[in-house]
Chain A
Amino acid sequence: MFEEIGTTAEGDLQINVGPQHPATHGVLHLVLTLNGETIKKVEPHLGYIHRSIEKMCESLTYRQFSYVTSRMDYLSSHINNNACALIVEKGLQVDVPERAKVIRVIIDELTRIASHELWWGAMAMDLGAFTPFFHAFRERETINEIMEETCGARLTMNYIVPGGLMMDIHPNFQKKVKSFIQLFRSKFDEYNELVTGNIIFQNRMKGVGVLSPEDAISYGCTGPAARGSGVKCDIRKLYPYEIYDKVQFDEVLETGCDSFARYMVRLKEMLESIKIIEQLIDNIPEGEFQAKTKAVLKLPKGEFYQRVETARGELGVYIVSEGGTTPYRIKYRSPGFSNLSALDHMARGSKLGDLIAMMGTLDLVIPDIDR
Chain B
Amino acid sequence: MTNEELKLKITTLLPEAVFEEGGEWLNVNVNATAWPALATQLLHEPELYFNYLFCLTCIDWKTHLTMVYHLDSTQYRHNLVIKIKLDTNKPEIETVSNLWRTAEFHEREVYEMFGVNFLNHPDLRLLILPEGWEGKNPLRKDFDDPVNMIRL
Contacts and interface: CB of A to CB of B under 8 A. Distances in A.
Interface of A: 1, 3, 44-47, 50, 52, 54-56, 59-60, 64, 215, 217-220, 222, 231-233, 238, 302-305, 307, 314, 316, 318, 320, 328-329, 331, 333, 337-338, 340-342, 345, 370
Nearest to A370: B128
Contacts of B101: 215, 218-220, 341-342, 345
Contact of A220 (B54, B60, B131, B138): B54
A54 B102 CA distance: 20
B59 interface: yes
Contact of B127 (A46, A232, A316, A333): A46
Nearest to A337: B105
A217 B51 contact: yes
Contact of A50 (B57, B100, B128, B131): B128
Contact of A219 (B102, B109, B139): B102
25 contacts: A1-B130, A45-B127, A50-B128, A52-B139, A54-B139, A217-B51, A218-B102, A219-B102, A220-B52, A220-B53, A231-B74, A232-B74, A304-B23, A304-B24, A305-B70, A307-B54, A314-B54, A318-B57, A318-B68, A318-B70, A329-B59, A333-B57, A337-B109, A338-B105, A341-B105
Contact of A59 (B102, B104, B131, B151): B151
B105 A340 contact: yes
B152 A331 contact: no
Contacts of A304: 23-24
Interface string B37-63: 000000000000001111101011000
A331 B55 contact: yes
B32 to A, nearest CB: 19
A289 B139 CA distance: 37
A60 B55 contact: no
Task: Point out which of A45, A52, A220 has the most chain B C-beta atoms below 10 A from its C-beta.
Answer: A220
Given A219-B102, A305-B70, A59 B51 contact: no
B34 interface: no
B20 to A, nearest CB: 9
A233 B74 contact: yes
A340 B100 CA distance: 15
B73 to A, nearest CB: 10
B37 to A, nearest CB: 19
Interface in B60-82: 60, 68, 70, 74, 77, 81
B54 A316 contact: yes
Contacts of B129: 47, 50
B146 interface: no
A277 B62 CA distance: 47
Interface of B: 22-25, 27, 51-55, 57, 59-60, 68, 70, 74, 77, 81, 100-102, 104-106, 109, 127-132, 138-139, 149-152
Task: Point out which of A1, A218, A231, A340 has the most chain B C-beta atoms below 10 A from its C-beta.
Answer: A218
A370 B128 CA distance: 7
Given A47-B127, A54-B139, A222-B54, 15 more contacts: A47-B128, A55-B138, A220-B100, A220-B106, A232-B74, A303-B23, A304-B23, A307-B54, A318-B55, A329-B60, A333-B54, A333-B55, A333-B57, A333-B70, A370-B128
A370 B130 CA distance: 12
Contacts of A316: 54-55, 70
Task: Point out which of A3, A45, A231 has the most chain B C-beta atoms below 10 A from its C-beta.
Answer: A45
Nearest to A213: B74
B105 A238 contact: no
Contacts of A345: 101
Contacts of A314: 54
Nearest to A46: B128
A60 B131 CA distance: 29
Contacts of A307: 54
Contact of A320 (B59, B130, B149): B59
B102 A338 contact: yes
Nearest to B20: A303
B22 A302 contact: yes
Contacts of A54: 139
A47 B130 contact: yes
Contacts of A55: 138-139, 149
Task: Point out which of B22, B27, B128 has the most chain A C-beta atoms below 10 A from its C-beta.
Answer: B128
A217 B74 contact: yes
Nearest to A338: B102
Given A233-B74, A329-B59, A217 B52 contact: yes
A328 B68 CA distance: 15
A222 B55 CA distance: 12
B51 A218 contact: yes
Contacts of B109: 337
Contacts of B130: 1, 47
